[in-house]
Chains A and B, each alone.
Chain A
């Protein structure tokens, strides 16, 4: 398992020096997957043969390459959340309705990673269509938290976070619509970065809420997150919402130079309802930053209190639209017996979607209906603008914000699955970031008394992932936590 603990940069060094073969890395990884999957269920699909073939080819090619010809992800096996298209690999989105869907194309992020030599080893479990905060709504069963198998890994990118944490993945890509990268990263004691909306192409990411979705890395370290972001970031002609903004070398931001930076602690994120241990761990990390010369001030984001409500109007509205295409006509599951077209639609979707997805489709369909649109969707968009403006004005004073990722640590499987509202509140500190389109990272900052990891969130200005990564890196290094679960 030694290789699986290595950073991407170190693995790359070993491979390009020809000290390690891609097939050796893959073998270790597959062994680890075999060892842990019974307990974790972090993968929906493991592309064993495909990956082995690719690794063998990489072995052969490596011989012909000089050291500096080896691309930075050459022969490194990565895992991908199962709502991102990888050509000729099944993509289920954790749903029965896509259980047999084999993707005909590569997402842009996959193309970019492939271009740097990455190998794709498997597809990670998730809440159905990324709708959830616990990875319990997957048609393929829940993923378990490697720190405590009775608990959820968070969600929706729970499979990604659990596997990276348990070292049954070297690094993974997740997607974040309301916290789906950061909250599971926090629950599993790994790093999860949600880039600025528009920083990474969404082409090939199955849309949940198009105006909120963003792909990002889930990794063992901040450095690995920067390493992957370097490859996947940048404008894409296939995504009209991807931004024409220069992409810096994010690794260079990890220089420890935080002295003189100004941090804001938004009052509204440290209120009652946050577990004391969580608050304590976050504030402890803030102290470490202060020691490094960061100036800390209290700020206020008063509209934060509307974030969850706003989100649960906008996200389901867009979801109800985006999920219409899963209709039984072309590539999805189709109900067996039906009497006409409408009946086919109804039965296919009734049988194909799980409860949480249906709940959101119904909410979204309702809020977009004639007569309700102005009162809900339009109003929510206005509040969204206010939330965005709130961040804008705070960022005139400070360089970044620090908050807890989640008010609590990983909860028990089944604990909230019957109470959607309780589940929705699990994302209370991550949602506003998506509404404002900002970059944010979850980095481990301690453990609670149950031994469960706690995550700290750094929120940055739009397209300032550099500061976010720099600060997270400083937190990580100053705390130097031991973050390998004993699963």
Chain B
């Protein structure tokens, strides 16, 4: 029997607000333990939560970008459990009435097909602190409450995901969108984005759902795929072996690449949810919603489509450019200030500029090269002042290093293309005298061999001139000189 998997993801995303969700403590990663704390996020007796408006705006922005319906009226609730990093012994979250529902995102699979994954709901909540267990002989555990009260949204998908690859793509897509709209920093290692996966299997084509397990804390794109691959295989083996999948929560061991039982259904906690009496209902009226809508930028998929239609880019190039909002904006500025084909701009950015920036440990956001300079550089190539090869190999790296204008670099380094026929002929003659084999091939060979010889010789001349020879002229001049000798 063949099996198929049914997967739903719960993704927690931290919101990049300056302060925490219910107090005015700083929301930042990496501060010394327990320094960004106050009576509210420490759960001191008598302290009360006050909802951070910015957190609501970021959450709504995210929900809009994920095509959700925003509920005018939503409620906060308390979710109870005891753990040292949960200072109030309850987490303020949303339960019965979340602020957003019924959204979707579209993923593009490696075979090029697209699939829409529906989002059931998004709710707002506070993050817990961190418990750190002593290492080695240290028997103590330590609690850092800096993270307690960090605003989170939990994005719950419908079980529309069928493969581990889709799960990974879905998660990546969420990350891309949230980072793009500026509400999340996309940093999975720092826990800015965390994922729990629900998975079950069923005979292929069946409509019924199997018993699901929940895998906790799969916090990298690779691990999502790996954990699900393992878990699906495990479930299939259980069923094929005549057993039954047990409803339980499992933990992914990234070292061993396996999932392990964390707690069974019987041990599942009763969170005793009830409406948070310290917070009035959250009302997101039309006026507020509209003002948030105005802050929402054009989304990556829309930009991608526009790049394809307006700039005649290939979908592949466009998708690379929209992976990062700064990159897309950089391209658009460069392409708009350039008179030639935008495709050349895309190529130069994707295949040369990004690499050069990477060499210098820079990103497009911190690039010393300005978009207009890219367009200037390409114009120099178009005018025949320098060759494309010189532009790529010599000028771009220097632009990244020094931030200088391309013209200045060309001048300083003497990179101007040699277009003087006599000068080129001189070099060609020299090269021919050193490459008798090729000359012979040209003289005695058929048409194909002749072409091959010319190509080879062009390369040699380029080498001799450090790429400065005008390739168009070489194409004309080399056969001419060959006829002479």
Contacts and interface: CB of A to CB of B under 8 A. Distances in A.
Interface of A: 83-85, 91, 93, 98, 101, 103-105, 107, 202-207, 209-211, 237-241, 317-318, 320-321, 324-327, 329-331, 341-342, 345, 365, 368-370, 373, 377
Nearest to B145: A330
B277 A324 contact: no
B82 interface: yes
A327 B44 contact: no
B51 interface: yes
Interface string B261-279: 0000000001011100111
A365 B272 contact: yes
B80 A206 contact: no
A303 B49 CA distance: 33
Given A105-B39, A327-B89, A329-B143, A241 B45 contact: no
Nearest first, the 8 closest Cβ-Cβ pairs linking A and B are A324-B89, A368-B272, A210-B277, A211-B277, A206-B45, A204-B46, A325-B43, A329-B84
Interface string B73-86: 00000101010100
Nearest to A341: B84
A369 B270 contact: yes
B279 to A, nearest CB: 5
Contacts of A324: 80, 82, 88-90
Given A321-B78, A370-B270, A85 B84 contact: no
A206 B43 CA distance: 11
A318 B50 CA distance: 18
Residue from B43, B50, B82, B90 having most chain A Cβ neighbours under 10 A: B82
Contacts of B82: 324, 327, 342, 345
A317 B274 contact: yes
Contacts of B45: 83, 85, 91, 93, 98, 101, 103, 206-207, 325-326
A240 B50 contact: yes
10 contacts: A83-B46, A84-B46, A211-B277, A239-B50, A240-B48, A241-B277, A324-B82, A324-B90, A330-B143, A369-B272
A327 B87 CA distance: 9
Q: Helix, strand, loop or mixed for chain A's interface? A: loop
A317 B51 CA distance: 23
B274 A368 contact: yes
B82 to A, nearest CB: 6
B277 A202 contact: no
Given A321-B80, A325-B87, A373 B46 contact: no
Interface in B114-151: 143
B277 A104 contact: no
A450 B84 CA distance: 53
A239 B88 CA distance: 17
Contacts of A204: 46-47
A189 to B, nearest CB: 30
A211 to B, nearest CB: 4
B144 to A, nearest CB: 12
A321 B272 contact: yes
B280 interface: yes
Contacts of A105: 39, 44, 47
A321 B274 CA distance: 9
A326 B84 CA distance: 11
Interface residues of B, number: 28
Q: Helix, strand, loop or mixed for chain B's interface? A: loop
Contact of B42 (A239, A330, A370): A330
Contact of A237 (B50, B80, B277): B50
Contacts of A103: 44-46
Contact of A241 (B42, B46, B273, B278): B278
A83 B46 CA distance: 8
B270 A325 contact: no
B354 to A, nearest CB: 47
Contacts of B42: 330
A203 B277 contact: no
A326 B87 CA distance: 9
Contacts of B277: 209-211, 241, 318
A207 B46 contact: yes
A289 to B, nearest CB: 36
A106 to B, nearest CB: 10
Contacts of A210: 277-278
Contacts of A107: 46
Contacts of B88: 324-325
A240 B87 contact: no
A327 B143 CA distance: 14
Given A203-B48, A325-B89, A365-B272, A240 B43 contact: no
Nearest to A371: B270
Nearest to B49: A240
A202 B48 contact: yes
Nearest to B39: A105
Interface in B190-238: none
A210 B280 CA distance: 12
Contact of A85 (B46, B51, B273): B46
A240 B279 contact: yes
A326 B51 CA distance: 24
B280 A240 contact: yes
Contacts of B279: 240-241
B274 A373 contact: yes
A209 to B, nearest CB: 8
Contacts of B143: 329-330
A331 B37 CA distance: 14
Nearest to A211: B277
Residue from B45, B48, B278, B279 having most chain A Cβ neighbours under 10 A: B45
Contacts of B46: 83-85, 103, 107, 202-207
Residue from A320, A327, A369 having most chain B Cβ neighbours under 10 A: A327
A318 B275 CA distance: 10
Contacts of B273: 368, 373
Contact of B47 (A203, A209, A321, A368): A203
Contacts of B90: 321, 324
A239 B46 CA distance: 10
Nearest to B275: A381
Contacts of B280: 240-241
B233 to A, nearest CB: 33
A321 B42 CA distance: 16
Given A105-B39, A240-B278, A373-B274, 13 more contacts: A105-B47, A107-B46, A211-B277, A240-B49, A321-B272, A324-B80, A325-B89, A326-B45, A327-B84, A329-B87, A330-B143, A342-B82, A368-B272
A214 to B, nearest CB: 13
A342 B82 CA distance: 9
A104 B273 CA distance: 30
A219 to B, nearest CB: 22
Contacts of A239: 48, 50
Nearest to A93: B45
A210 B87 CA distance: 17
B146 to A, nearest CB: 14
Nearest to B269: A370
A329 B84 CA distance: 6
Interface in B240-286: 270, 272-274, 277-280
